[in-house]
Structure 1
Amino acid sequence: MAYDGFARRLHTMLPGGHRLRARLANSICASVERSARIAPDVKLSRHLVVLDGAGIGAGTLFTGAERITLGRRLKMGPRCMFITNDHPVPADHQTFSEIRGTNRPIVVGDDVFIGAGSIILGGVTIGRGAAVGAGSVVVRDVPPGAVVVGAPARVVYTRNA
């Protein structure tokens, strides 16, 4: 509550408000390094782990009941979504209420770039040095150094990371 009411607006009140937001976020999340940069209007999760130097874009959403780990020196555009929970489509003659939802962790490696508006779904690992194009929907693992774009995200090339 204190984070939503106060910390999200620190950027307009104090220079370096992102550092204070990171400290307050550490009381909500599993772990947030002091050097993390958290932009305004981020919706945090108690399952979130943010490593050294990671940057979280404005308006980003973290949701679900599994751990989300953000690697060192991560760069992220605004309005990304990290969703660990999912609900499979039921077989014929079954309803959604008869099928149990799933939760799987998300792991983002070091030195990764995630473009604005990207969606990262549960069970995904994004390898070190990878880049996710803006608006991409990542539904499967991204190899280290890969550049992925689209919905669903596909590798367009691999850079030497």
Structure 2
Amino acid sequence: MKYLRFLKEKAKGYSLGTMLRLEFESLFFGIFSLVPTTGGVILRALVSKVFFKRCAGFAWIQPRVTIVHADRITMGSNFGVNSGSYINGVGGIEFGSYVLIGSNVTISSGQHPIEGELPPVFARQSIPKKIVIGDDVWIGAGAVIMPGVTIARGTVIGANAVVTRDTEEYAVMVGAPARMLRKRGAA
């Protein structure tokens, strides 16, 4: 009974249609995320055309990528994401063209509020914060992109970096929290 009350509380703010779409999306992305080889990549590219808000070109999605709230994600052409990555579009995500995402990257556009003691953090609704990732961006393996961040054109995010604020164009960002190491093309 407690669990049912908890589920009812978590579902506040979501219509029945939204909850069914999320379940359907989870089912399809879950099934197709396990299909290996080029055939799996092609299946996931076709599925993305159906679920994403906009997908301008071919989406190269490797196995074991988790995507939720795909209907709030747009992407330009030549988009690639490697195995083990997690993309949560609850607050909206705009990917530009020529974006490459390494393995085990987390990109989440929702943030749980932590102020106050009640209700428990687990029971609170996520606060949507849009993420914008510009053209010609490479996000290295294990990086984390926090809600509300804009990654400017030409930026490279180093492996395991945690991006908590906006970047400059053609910046090379490293560390946790990420800081600019240098500009691309600069020695």
Q: TM-score range by the shorter chain?
A: 0.7 to 0.9
Matched, 1:70 2:92: no
Asked if 1:95 is matched to 2:99, the reply is: no
Is the Cα contact below 8 Å between 2:92 and 2:128 reproduced in 1? no
Return 5+ residue gaps in structure 2 as ranges. 1-26
Is the 2:163–2:178 contact (alpha carbons within 8 Å) kept by the matching residues of 1?
A: yes
Counterparts of 1:49-128 in structure 2 under 5 Å? 49-90=74-115, 94-95=116-117, 97=119, 101-128=126-153
**CA distance in 1 between partners of 2:89 and 2:58 (Å):** 25
1:156 aligns with 2:186: no
Q: How many residues align?
A: 155
1:156 Cα shift?
Answer: 0.9
Q: Tell me how far 1:16 sits from its aligned partner.
A: 4.8
**Higher helix proportion (structure 1 or 2):** 2
Cα distance change on mapping 1:111 and 1:28 into 2, 3 Å: same
How many percent of aligned residue pairs carry the same amino acid? 33
Residues 64/34 of structure 1: CA separation in 2 closer, same or farther (3 Å cut): closer
TM-score, normalization by structure 2: 0.75
Larger radius of gyration: 2
Say yes or no: does 1:44 pair with 2:70. no
Structure 1 segments unaligned to the other structure (5+ residues): none
Q: Distance in 1 between matches of 2:174 and 2:118?
A: 30
2:49 is the alignment partner of 1:26:
yes
Q: Tell me the SS of whatever aligns to 1:49.
A: strand
Query: Normalising by the residue count of structure 1, what TM-score does the alignment of the two structures yield?
Result: 0.86
CA distance in structure 1 between the partners assigned to 2:81 and 2:174 by the alignment: 20
Deviations 1:32-79 (A, max 9, x none): 234121111111132222210011111111125211111111111101
